[in-house]
Amino acid sequence: MIRKSKREVPDLEERIRQLETKYKMKYSFKQIQAIDYGLSIDVPVELYADPKYSHEQMYELFDALNQGIDPTFFQDPRFDAKQMHEIMQGMIDGVDVSKYARHDIDGRSMTWIRLALQKEIDVDQYPEFWQGATGAQRKYLELNNKILQKSGDKRCFIKVNRYRREEYYMEVSIDEDTDVLSAMHALNAEKIEKVQHLKIELLKNQIFPLTNHPLKPTGNVETYLELSPIKDS
């Protein structure tokens, strides 16, 4: 997620030039935004302004520095931004992040393992936590609900969590020599957020949208329930 700069950085262009000279590479626009954010919160961005990090990874690393957390544990660029975030959050929560700070555990699985560790659940006893996000989620909710049921609370909330992933379809025309797959890989790396920006980038790659708007979205809403106790005021 893009963070807004906390203040204007007057020498931003010069700082970017210095960093690009140091790393002998050019930053993407989104990486520059991330570095601008890091400079605006007065963290030593040069520690993690290496272009090998995506802009999302930079945000997580800069946030860690801003909160006084040593990112050494998750600075390996093989961790994606979600994994970095979950390891950092686990350090904030005070759980044993060494349990899940592994490249082969995806970020969503890390979320459920972290939540389980917060509840003092011995995750090593349950193989479901290590078999993907869906299994980890189900096992956490099962165990968490049992913990709450044993607590003696007579009233509770059922928290409904919903996540939506939408898919849009856009009809385009291309020349015979256009390398569509390479263009798509490059655009995916940029993680473009707005459709209008996407159309501009497509045109730059000789891919021509045939309509002003993409077709209506399709997609699924993922819903799960979690038992949450009501605390008396």
Residue pLDDT, tens place only, 159-169: 666 655 556 66
- My answer on whether 145 and 39 are in the same domain is yes
- My answer on whether 136 and 206 are in the same domain is no
- Please report which helix (H) or strand (E) contains residue 209, including its range: strand 207-209
In a domain, 106, yes or no: yes
The pLDDT assigned to 84 comes to 95
C-alpha to C-alpha distance for 175 and 192, rounded to whole angstroms: 23
Final residue of a domain: which of 135, 151, 167?
Answer: 151
Query: At a CB cut-off of 8 Å and minimum separation 6, what does 229 contact?
Result: 148, 151, 153, 155, 156, 157
Token pair 């980890």 in the structure block, residue? 136
Query: At a CB cut-off of 8 Å and minimum separation 6, what does 19 contact?
Result: 27, 35, 45, 46, 49
pTM for this model (two decimals): 0.62
187: containing domain: 157-232
- My answer on whether 57 and 26 are in the same domain is yes
Report the domain count for the chain. Answer: 2
Token pair 């708007």 in the structure block, residue? 213
Judge contact between 92 and 85, C-beta under 8 A: no
- My answer on whether 63 and 137 are in the same domain is yes
Q: How many helices (H) and strands (E) does the chain have?
A: 8, 4
- My answer on whether 21 and 107 are in the same domain is yes
Spans in the chain with pLDDT lower than 70? 1-6, 147-169, 176-178, 189-196, 210-233
- Over residues 112-133, the pLDDT tens digits come to 999 999 989 999 999 999 999 9
The pLDDT assigned to 233 comes to 44
Token pair 């349990």 in the structure block, residue? 99
- My answer on whether 123 and 53 are in the same domain is yes
In a domain, 202, yes or no: yes
The pLDDT assigned to 3 comes to 65
The pLDDT assigned to 229 comes to 54
Cα 33 to chain centroid, rounded: 16
C-alpha to C-alpha distance for 227 and 225, rounded to whole angstroms: 7
C-alpha to C-alpha distance for 189 and 170, rounded to whole angstroms: 19
- My answer on whether 143 and 186 are in the same domain is no
- My answer on whether 126 and 162 are in the same domain is no
In a domain, 121, yes or no: yes
Final residue of a domain: which of 104, 136, 151?
Answer: 151
